[in-house]
Amino acid sequence: MFALDRLLGWFSVDMGIDLGTCNTLVCVRGEGIVLNEPSVVAVRKGTTHVLNNGTAVGWAAKEMLGKTPGSISAIRPMKDGVIADFQITEAMLAYFINKVNGKSRIVGPRVVIAVPAGITAVERQAVKQSAQRAGARTVFTLEEPFAAALGAGLPVAEATASMIVDIGGGTADVAIISLADIAACESVRVAGDDFDEAIIDYMKKSYSLTIGEQTAERIKVEIGSAAPIGETLTMDVRGRDMVSGLPRKTVVTSDEIREALQEPISAITEAVLRTLENAEPELAADLVDNGILLAGGGALLRGIDRVISNATGLETRIADEPLTCVARGTSMFLENLESWKQVLDGEDGEG
């Protein structure tokens, strides 16, 4: 069976997929990252029918949303780190797999999908089946924190503890890894989206100004911070006045936004502390030297490394290219598929 699989390998691609709550990345063995699109699907309002025969996915979905906002809605099927809607997740996965694989290939790809660590066995199975229905020949699933740590270059297979905090859009995942196994992990549904929401709430309370999610995200990226950043930055913000209902502009400062972000940031810091408290003493001891690594888009929030370092007393670093760690991890996994096979749990063999 194995020999046959290897033979078929000559005619197909190996594909690693980071199915994130905000962004989906696909990498192909030997080619690196070949697709990076928002995890968004456009459906006709009130239905689960993906528009344009299942192709209103990713950038195409975003584009449609801008043009015909009334009749269609955007669905982020992975929003909270769990699969909110299987049908739509499957449509999204199929679209991305086919886009990369091309319809012309005779043999389906081997696929490694990074899934949230907190996913149930049933959900994991559903993801695998979705990928198979989308044309994959063999499907492996890999836990996201593991993929992130691998992609970030941490020594995951060694007998020393590595700690990774992946702050994505919908969830922040904290994990301690040793000997190619997740020794402790916790996932909280507080991450980048919640930073945006905290900014929306702040603008409402302090300025009676309603702003959209995209504006909130822009504020976060441009002037947001978790800890003081030395200078005070300002930004013009446009929205709708809650009293008059009319468009209005105001100016906010980075100090105000930092204040607004305190609550979701504390929730993440507390998850990090809880994971450390629950870790075996020997693993905790390793972390004194090894420190903590931050990954995911949320790691780019200014000063978040300092906040986590202050709270834990451990050296905290930001991964290189934190947005692509998981995808690069799946790619590294693919390159050493045979030797990593032991890492996968029993049911995860060839499927």
List contacts with ligand ADP (CB under 6 A): 20-23, 168-170, 192-193, 217, 220-221, 224, 296-298, 300-301, 323
- The interface partner of residue 116, options being Mg ion, ligand ADP, none and the CB cut-off 5 to 8 Å by kind, is none
Beta strand residue intervals within the chain, DSSP E: 14-19, 23-28, 32-38, 41-44, 72-75, 110-115, 138-143, 162-167, 172-178, 181-188, 209-210, 234-241, 247-253, 292-295, 316-318
Q: Is 81 in the site for Mg ion (CB under 5 A)?
A: no
What is the distance between the alpha carbons of residues 114 and 348, in angstroms, rounded to a whole number? Answer: 13
* Terminal C-alpha separation, the chain: 12
Residue 316 half-sphere exposure toward CB, CA atoms < 13 A:
20
- Cα three-residue angle 119-213-237, rounded to 5 degrees: 150
Q: Is 224 in the site for Mg ion (CB under 5 A)?
A: no
Q: Is 116 in the site for Mg ion (CB under 5 A)?
A: no
Question: Between residues 82 and 323, which has the closer beta carbon with respect to ligand ADP?
Answer: 323
State the amino acid at position 350 in one-letter form: E
Member of 168, 170, 224, 239 binding Mg ion (CB under 5 A): 168
Q: Is 297 in the site for Mg ion (CB under 5 A)?
A: no
Residue 54 dihedral angles phi and psi, to the nearest 5°: 80, 10
What's the token pair of residue 215? Answer: 């504006």
For 125, 152, 239, the CA distances from 340, given in Å and listed in that order, are 20, 17, 51
List the one residue out of 266, 297, 343 whose CA is nearest residue 20: 297
- The interface partner of residue 297, options being Mg ion, ligand ADP, none and the CB cut-off 5 to 8 Å by kind, is ligand ADP
In the complex, the smallest distance separating the C-beta of residue 81 from ligand ADP, rounded to whole angstroms, is: 7
- The interface partner of residue 151, options being ligand ADP, Mg ion, none and the CB cut-off 5 to 8 Å by kind, is none
- The interface partner of residue 108, options being ligand ADP, Mg ion, none and the CB cut-off 5 to 8 Å by kind, is none
Question: Between residues 259 and 347, which has the closer beta carbon with respect to ligand ADP?
Answer: 259
In the complex, the smallest distance separating the C-beta of residue 298 from ligand ADP, rounded to whole angstroms, is: 5
Which range binds Mg ion by CB under 5 A, 43-51, 130-138, 162-170, 215-223?
162-170
In the complex, the smallest distance separating the C-beta of residue 72 from ligand ADP, rounded to whole angstroms, is: 22
Q: Is 20 in the site for Mg ion (CB under 5 A)?
A: yes
In the complex, the smallest distance separating the C-beta of residue 148 from Mg ion, rounded to whole angstroms, is: 7
- Cα three-residue angle 93-97-98, rounded to 5 degrees: 115
- The interface partner of residue 128, options being Mg ion, ligand ADP, none and the CB cut-off 5 to 8 Å by kind, is none
Name 302's bridge partners: 225
- The interface partner of residue 127, options being Mg ion, ligand ADP, none and the CB cut-off 5 to 8 Å by kind, is none
In the complex, the smallest distance separating the C-beta of residue 22 from ligand ADP, rounded to whole angstroms, is: 3
List the one residue out of 292, 319, 297, 320 whose CA is nearest residue 307: 292
In the complex, the smallest distance separating the C-beta of residue 248 from Mg ion, rounded to whole angstroms, is: 35
What is the distance between the alpha carbons of residues 180 and 293, in angstroms, rounded to a whole number? Answer: 16
Question: Between residues 116 and 239, which has the closer beta carbon with respect to ligand ADP?
Answer: 116
Q: Is 151 in the site for Mg ion (CB under 5 A)?
A: no
* 3-class state of residue 301 by DSSP: coil
Question: Between residues 19 and 156, which has the closer beta carbon with respect to ligand ADP?
Answer: 19
The residues of the shown chain that bind Mg ion, judged by CB under 5 A, are 20, 168
